Amino acid sequence: MKIGKKLISVMTAAAMIAGLAACGNGGGSNQSVSSSGSGSQKSSISSSGDSGSGSSGSDSSGSDSNSNPGSSEGKTYHIGICQLLEHAALDAATEGFQTALKEKLGEDNVEFDLQNAQGESTNCSTICNGFVTDNVDLIMANATGALQAAVASTNSIPILGTSVTDYATALNLKDWNGHTGTNVSGTSDLAPIDQQEDMILEILPDVKTVGIAYCSSEPNSAYQADLMKKALDEDNVSYKEYTAADSNEIQSVITTACDECDAIYIPTDNTMASSVETIKNVVVPAGVPLFAGEAGICVAGVATLSISYYDIGYATGEMAYEILVNGKDAGEMDVQTASKVTKQYNKEICETLNITVPDGYEELASE
């Protein structure tokens, strides 16, 4: 009986030794697969970085991404774009913005929700409130009405504007020092008004009265109009102001301006730009030269001091990258302006009105 018990003990011990030997010879990856994921197993995986079989490429990249909060790898950024309306200048700004972010983040790492408000401020509000509900990473507001709606919708999500003439005017900011101090920054489409006035006198040195026409519901247009009035006052040139409440009044307003003035100036104004063909059909038959604040409106005019809306849109995209990836504070980023302005003329209308443009003007590209 004792012999039998001893024999059983010896056999049991031999079996245990054999089992331990088998465990010692087995591959770590096999044990990893058979494990149910206990705490000790997690420790084993995290400490196996020196072994080629200990971690996969995806585990490694995930670790790198987590250790670098500024990295864009593995993250998809969701950007809401509210564009006030469709016309060439705003379209170009949106295109530049999207191109910049695709180039910097990679096309697979950014998604755009582009929505057009069709010129309606209530649509801007609905769009921007939707972006907040969707918790987008950033809102790009294209034009003043879109910016104002975005600001009303959130004070936490970063907002970048573009095609906005003056941020202090648009946002009713006092003591403007170049940045907002809130969650907002962006780019301005303001070309130097004094140089635009110089352009009018350069082409029409004998002009007596300039009509300044714009939409009364656009505060940035009123801001530009005031600057133009000051410039004309300095050169002792008379002016009259004409405002349209909306696009329905533009034809009659421009007709009156043509009857009473030698030339017309229209600043960057979204409502006017959306009705440029209507304006053209009034000023050209009337023989009154029109000077425009941007190239889109100059479809109806003789000359403009133009900026590139694509370029300011692209610059806005670069600012977005700094916010999204490098953690910049929008409120501390200075609003940027176009680095280059270009004198352009509309060859077709100049020939029709028998106007000779001085040297230094580029021909406006026909659309």
Residue spans per domain, the chain: 77-189+309-334, 193-306+341-363
Q: Which of 343, 349, 319, 347 is nearest to 333 (CA)?
A: 319
With beta carbons less than 8 A apart as the criterion, state whether 149 and 128 touch. yes
Instruction: Identify the residue with better confidence: 333 or 22.
Output: 333
pTM, two decimals, is: 0.72
Convert the pLDDT of each residue in 79-127 to its tens digit: 999 999 998 899 999 999 999 999 999 999 999 999 999 999 999 999 9
What integer is the mean pLDDT of 205-228? Answer: 95
CATH superfamily of 193-306+341-363: Response regulator (3.40.50.2300)
What integer is the mean pLDDT of 7-19? Answer: 43
Band of pLDDT at residue 44, cut at 50, 70 and 90: very low
Q: What is the β-pairing status of strands 342-345 and 303-306?
A: antiparallel
Band of pLDDT at residue 72, cut at 50, 70 and 90: low
Question: Would you call 164 helix, strand, or coil by DSSP?
Answer: strand
Band of pLDDT at residue 137, cut at 50, 70 and 90: very high
What integer is the mean pLDDT of 147-159? Answer: 98
Q: In what order do the strands lie in the sheet with 342-345?
A: 238-244, 209-215, 263-266, 290-292, 303-306, 342-345, 362-363
Most confident of 4-13, 142-151, 169-178: 142-151
Question: 77-189+309-334 in CATH: which number?
Answer: 3.40.50.2300
Instruction: Identify the residue with better confidence: 91 or 49.
Output: 91
DSSP state of 180: -
Please indicate whether the domains covering 77-189+309-334 and 193-306+341-363 agree at the CATH topology level: yes
Band of pLDDT at residue 194, cut at 50, 70 and 90: very high
Distance separating alpha carbons of residues 235 and 3, to the nearest angstrom: 125
Instruction: Identify the residue with better confidence: 365 or 345.
Output: 345
Band of pLDDT at residue 27, cut at 50, 70 and 90: very low
Distance separating alpha carbons of residues 188 and 337, to the nearest angstrom: 5
Is residue 281 classed exposed, middle or buried when 0-12, 13-18 and 19+ CB atoms within 10 A define those classes? Answer: middle
With beta carbons less than 8 A apart as the criterion, state whether 263 and 249 touch. no
The region of weakest confidence among 47-61, 68-82, 129-143, 290-304 is: 47-61
With beta carbons less than 8 A apart as the criterion, state whether 301 and 353 touch. no
Q: Is the pLDDT of residue 66 over 50?
A: no
Whose tokens are 């002009």? That residue is 207
Q: What is the β-pairing status of strands 110-116 and 263-266?
A: unpaired
What integer is the mean pLDDT of 180-190? Answer: 96
User: What pLDDT sits at residue 48?
Assistant: 29
The beta strand positions in the chain, using DSSP E, are 77-83, 110-116, 138-142, 159-164, 184-188, 209-215, 238-244, 263-266, 290-292, 303-306, 336-337, 342-345, 362-363
